[in-house]
Structure 1
Amino acid sequence: MPFVLAVAGCAGDGDSTATVTVTAGASTSATATTLATIDPTAERGKVEAIDGLSGYAQQLAQQGTIRIGVKYDAPGLGYLSNGASAPSGFEIEVAKILAGGLGISPDKIQWVQTVTSTREQALTSNTADLVIATYSMTREREQQVGMAGPYYITGAQLLVRAADQAMLASVTPGPNGNPRLRSLPASLDGRICTTTTSTTANVIVHEFKLTPVLKESFAECVSALQQGTVDALATDGVIELGYAAASGGSLKVIGDPWTEEKYGVGYAKGLAGMCDYIQKTLLRAYKDGSWLAAFEDTLGQSGADSPEPPAFEPC
């Protein structure tokens, strides 16, 4: 029978809750629960300031609190379930690791709801100290904000209705279609959904020469896909895996990644000490296993393969 996955998101200028109806299979409710109910107050890794903090990082450590912008609509990454007091997911666990690098415990984190189009604004308006929100590192973004990492690498794929899987897989980049193909079918023109200001939208428009349907949140795109007003969601495959896992088999991720998205941690441009602190804290988490455990407890439950720690971009 169908169940309703309610996701807090933003539509236009106001907050809203996007309701996504999915068909539940025998194991779906267990999967959805696993993705959404990790204790948001539980510590992850060491809550101990790293050595050599300076600049704004040192100021945050002395303050003892931190504001972190995260997604609320990405199951397995950053997701706020109905009735929950805080979001959960891999990026939430990464946020707790980074707070721990300042000696700040999870109960001293203020979560700031962030959608794709508001990530830079959250930093430039001093609404958030960090943004950890499926935030791909690009030259254009680094002209506006500081970025450190990456802490994870993924790539854009398609999420489609299971009934359309065979038809669309044959005309998208492998493995089920042509591995040499670097295009998307013309039938998706005006029928492919992605989020406003995303790197995926830029590729769809400028490389594939298609017109995407732009939404403020992933949940809105998934709702449109299930209602039949679009035929595919194009975004990072790791985001789509969370929705596929919660769909009871009604949605499928297809094809190989056709972009490389390096997820970085955003902070206000020019703040001294931030990149060094972020990299040192992530390196500690790589070494002590807390980064991998965070992944396996969240995204790993949706079927994503356990990754190797990615190499950092220079500060």
Structure 2
Amino acid sequence: MTRLIAAAALALTALPSLAQDLPDLGGREVVIATENAYPPLQFVGPEGAPIGWEYDAMEAIAGLINIVPVYETTSWDAMIPAVAEGQYDMGMTGITIREDRAEVVDFSDSYMTSQMVMLVRGDEERFTDAASFAADPDLLMAAQPGTTPFYVGVYDVLDGDEANPRIQLFETFGAGVEALRNGDVDLVLTDGTAGNGYVAASEGGLKIVGEPLGTEEFGFIFPQGSDLVEPMNAAIAALAGDGTLDELNTRWFLDYAMGE
């Protein structure tokens, strides 16, 4: 695992925040599980350091409630069980708030709303929506096991068989997108904000087809009963109220994707 102290690992521009009566956690160290494979929410940047929307948001939150984030990288499939068991204080990697997950971990309030979209190569003409993709048995989809895109692909696009060979499994989201670019798969399902970022940066190499396949809310996860949930929710509300979350959306889903 890679262990990074946030203040040393990231150089962030100042973010505005409202002066509010927020809890002060006294410089408490908070160990956060991350994956670093879900751009632009969190990923390893060109200079080799972890960057992204969630890192910037967490730095802003840390300033509001006086915590010291410490990041440890782990795989997606291990993250929720590990947080549930208390191996980490919290986890972040664009985690969809779902009832089944809420049975084993506590969620923060939503910090982002997104819709699932179909990301394809820019010259794709064989299908234009979920139904036409499903109708062609030669077409393949990339997914990470256990993720929201995986389940949407299985149950909303294909036949409900989680072992369907048309779903090609990849350890990271980025690997699935690279397989799409290389022609090894034909579709990647992703949230609309990330999908639009990939399209904007692809110079025509990627596009989105069809209608969105539902809406999802992202939240941070904690061991059940964690005393961090309430302070985190207060900080999220403050950042939503002062425009910081909107600023981060612009920074990472538009400016970064466009290379600005």
TM-score band w.r.t. shorter chain: 0.7 to 0.9
Secondary structure of 2:157's counterpart equals coil
Q: Supply the AA of the counterpart residue of 2:127.
A: L
Aligned to 1:40: 10
Aligned to 2:98: 138
| Alignment CA distance shift 1:128-1:47 (3 Å) | farther
Q: For residues 37 and 28 of structure 2, what CA distance do their matches in structure 1 show?
A: 28
Alignment partner of 1:69 is 2:28: no
Q: Supply the AA of the counterpart residue of 1:118.
A: A
Aligned to 1:284: 238
Alignment partner of 1:103 is 2:66: yes
Secondary structure of 1:229's counterpart equals coil
Q: For residues 157 and 198 of structure 2, what CA distance do their matches in structure 1 show?
A: 25
* TM-score normalised by the chain length of structure 1: 0.68
Q: Which consecutive unaligned segments of at least 5 residues does structure 1 have?
A: 1-13, 16-38, 54-60, 174-181, 305-315
Aligned to 2:83: 123
Secondary structure of 2:136's counterpart equals helix
Q: Is the 8 A contact 2:97 2:107 kept in 1?
A: yes
Q: For residues 233 and 30 of structure 2, what CA distance do their matches in structure 1 show?
A: 17
Q: Supply the AA of the counterpart residue of 2:239.
A: A
Q: For residues 296 and 84 of structure 1, what CA distance do their matches in structure 2 show?
A: 23
| Alignment CA distance shift 1:264-1:244 (3 Å) | same
Aligned to 2:157: 208
Q: Is the 8 A contact 2:115 2:212 kept in 1?
A: yes
Q: Supply the AA of the counterpart residue of 2:251.
A: D
Q: Which of 200, 208, 229 pairs up with 1:253?
A: 208
Aligned to 1:31: none
* CA displacement at 1:52 relative to structure 2: 4.5
Aligned to 1:156: 116
Secondary structure of 1:256's counterpart equals coil
| Alignment CA distance shift 1:131-1:191 (3 Å) | same
Q: Which of 186, 195, 198 pairs up with 2:147?
A: 198
Secondary structure of 1:155's counterpart equals strand
User: Aligned-pair RMSD on alpha carbons?
Assistant: 2.9
Q: For residues 291 and 71 of structure 1, what CA distance do their matches in structure 2 show?
A: 21
Aligned to 1:51: 22
* CA displacement at 1:255 relative to structure 2: 2.3
* CA displacement at 1:189 relative to structure 2: 6.3
* CA displacement at 1:188 relative to structure 2: 5.7
Alignment partner of 1:237 is 2:192: yes
* CA displacement at 1:196 relative to structure 2: 0.9
Q: Supply the AA of the counterpart residue of 1:74.
A: Y
Q: Is the 8 A contact 2:92 2:221 kept in 1?
A: yes
Q: Which of 90, 115, 125 pairs up with 2:53?
A: 90
Q: Is the 8 A contact 1:47 1:102 kept in 2?
A: no
Q: For residues 138 and 155 of structure 1, what CA distance do their matches in structure 2 show?
A: 14
| Alignment CA distance shift 1:296-1:161 (3 Å) | same
Secondary structure of 1:168's counterpart equals coil
* CA displacement at 1:114 relative to structure 2: 4.2
* CA displacement at 1:102 relative to structure 2: 2.2
Aligned length: 245
Greater shift after overlay, 61-70 or 216-225? 61-70
Q: Is the 8 A contact 1:146 1:270 kept in 2?
A: yes
Q: Supply the AA of the counterpart residue of 1:41.
A: A
Aligned to 1:27: none
Q: For residues 29 and 238 of structure 2, what CA distance do their matches in structure 1 show?
A: 21
Q: Supply the AA of the counterpart residue of 1:195.
A: Q
Secondary structure of 1:117's counterpart equals helix
Q: Deviations over 1:18-68 (max 9, x none)?
A: xxxxxxxxxxxxxxxxxxxxx933254459995356xxxxxxx23532222
Q: Which consecutive unaligned segments of at least 5 residues does structure 2 have?
A: 3-8
For residues 294-309 of structure 1, the aligned pairs below 5 Å read 294-301=248-255
* TM-score normalised by the chain length of structure 2: 0.81
Q: Is the 8 A contact 1:190 1:213 kept in 2?
A: no
Q: Percent identity?
A: 21
Q: For residues 143 and 116 of structure 2, what CA distance do their matches in structure 1 show?
A: 10
Alignment partner of 1:167 is 2:126: yes
| Alignment CA distance shift 1:269-1:229 (3 Å) | same
